[in-house]
């Protein structure tokens, strides 16, 4: 019975040998230099366009900020922070593409992608923390202003 089992096992191994060999070769498949250079060039062009867009949005925000005062200044700060975050995200994305384009094998690309995902997660956590602290400060300041205004109104009527 052991001979029959070994025979079946050998038959299965032989049947899957081409698949195993193809998978092994696929893991070490090299990405052509021309393809990597094309991706790098496109990423660089996109980075330049993102920088131009960022510069334009900064000018628009500055114009809005100059035209209006008071609470709109806070909205402009928030808008500027969002624009900065979007620009940083775009830069990180294109830098990631550049790194991925440099990968010479699928396993190297997978490691690079894993590192990029982890780094983006850390950035998102940091931004969420900063946003909640900023929002808490705005709410506290708004409550204090409302309390001061209420106090002034109440003391005038009393």
pLDDT in tens, 65-80: 665 555 667 777 888 8
CB of 94 within 8 A of CB of 47?
A: yes
The domain limits of the chain are 5-156
Res 65: pLDDT = 61
Report DSSP letters for 57-125, one per residue: HHHHHHHHHHH--THHHHHHHHHHHHHHHHHHHHHHHHHHHHHHHH-SSHHHHHHHHHHHHHHHHHHHH
Res 11: pLDDT = 78
Q: For a pLDDT cut of 70, what percent of the chain falls above it?
A: 75
More confident residue, 41 or 18: 41
Angle between helices 33-67 and 71-102 (to 10 degrees): 170
What's the predicted TM-score (pTM) here? 0.53
């Amino acid at each position: 019975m052991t001979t029959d089992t070994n025979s079946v096992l050998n038959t299965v191994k032989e049947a899957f040998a081409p698949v195993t060999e193809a998978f092994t070769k696929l893991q070490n498949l090299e990405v052509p230099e021309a393809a990597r250079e094309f991706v790098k060039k496109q990423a660089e062009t996109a980075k330049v366009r993102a920088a131009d867009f960022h510069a334009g949005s900064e000018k628009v925000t500055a114009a809005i900020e100059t035209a209006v005062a008071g609470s709109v200044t806070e909205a402009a700060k928030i808008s500027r922070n969002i624009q900065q975050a979007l620009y940083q995200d775009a830069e990180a994305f294109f830098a990631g593409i550049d790194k991925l384009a440099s990968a010479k094998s699928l396993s190297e690309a997978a490691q690079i992608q894993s590192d990029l995902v982890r780094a983006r997660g850390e950035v998102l956590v940091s931004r969420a923390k900063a946003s909640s602290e900023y929002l808490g400060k705005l709410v506290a300041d708004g409550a204090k202003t409302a309390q001061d205004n209420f106090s002034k109104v109440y003391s005038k009527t009393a």
